[in-house]
Every structure is written in C-alpha cells, then in structure tokens.
Amino acid sequence: MKILPSIIVRGKNMLYTPFPWIALLEISLSESVQLYFCSNNEDVTFGGRVYTAFPFSLEAARQTSKGEIPTLPLKVCNVDRIIHSYLEQLDGAVGAEVVIRVVNSAHLAEDFSELDMTFSVLSTEADAEWVTFNLGAPSPLRQRFPRYRYIAMHCNWEFKSVECAYAGAETTCDRTFKRCDALANTRRFGGYHGLNLKGWRLT
C-alpha cells in the first residue's frame, strides 16, 4: 500500500485547487545524458533539480492479445531536434530509463516518491514533430549479469564519477591502473588488481 504525506492526500482529494499537479519527466539516455522536463508553462525546481518546461504527453497504454509486453507511448516534442541528435548518437536509446513523477506545485518540498513510475525504453520512433518512446517494464534480460566486469587492470568506474571520486585538475583517464596511479587515486581503483592477467573468469 502506498503511503503519502497527509498534506498531499488532502490536496489530491480536493474538488478544486488553484495549485496544479505537474508531471515531471526524467530521461536517462546514458550516464552522461540526463534530461529533465516538466508539463508546465514555466520551469519547476524539485529535489534540488531544475525541470525545464517542455512539451510532452503520455498516451493510453497499448496492450495486445499476443503476450507482448504492454507499452506506454511517451511523446516528446522534436521540433527543435534536441533529443533527436542524442538518439542518433545512442542508437535510439533502447534500454534507457525513464522516470515519471507527479507533484503538486504548492508542496514541492514533500515526499512524492510513492508516485514515481520507472520504465524502460523498449523502442523509439521519431518524425518532424515528435519523438515517441515506447515505454515498458524494465526487462531482466537487458540487465548485465554479473553487474560488473572483473578485469585486472581496467577500472569499472567512469572518470570523476561518485565511485571514482577524483577531484583533481586532470580531464582525461584511460581507466588503467597505471593512469590511476599517476593521478594518485589507486585507493578508488575500480579494477581487480589481484586477478591473473593471462585470462578472465566470471563466477
């Protein structure tokens, strides 16, 4: 059972309110490309993050009798081709994560986590007006298993990520142990230095 703050429940049950409910859209196309949009006529700041006012719409879920995964079409404006350029670089961003949350404009400091909905991009279509993401439940078949690659001299972490934690002036890293040592950051090295260099094994 979902438990919402009482002030949110009261706002939901009101027959009339001057404060609109706003859909927030978080599209994680890749580790470095994160898009944040809101269905509003002005930007919204929520959770310390700015959601840009941008045209998008959710359509009714598509279901078939053939046993296929139900999909939820999400249409995002493509007139300025901002998203289109990302999709060309990321092969349509299939498998990307999309989070949809609904918040009340009068209570943006409240906890709306119970209203979050997380989807996976199953396919993508685009024309001159809209990019359509066909959303569905995340598939376990698309997840890496095991979660990490066990390689002796190669770091799993993205440079300057939370796991890497490098905060120096350098801007590039080839993610080898040698480079990590040169940057004096070996304590955060994301590889497995003790593994045999002549082969690899997954367990």
pLDDT digits (tens, 9 = 90+) for 79-105: 888 888 888 778 788 888 899 998 888
pTM: 0.59
What length does the chain have?
203
- Taking the C-alpha atoms of residue 203 and residue 186, their distance in angstroms, rounded to an integer, is 25
CA triple 94-63-139, angle to 5 deg? 35
State the pLDDT at residue 185: 93
In the chain, domain spans:
6-139, 144-203
DSSP code of 148? S
Residues in the chain with pLDDT values less than 70: 1-4, 12, 62-69, 138-149, 196-203
Q: What is the dihedral of CA 30, 130, 85, 46, to 10 degrees?
A: -40
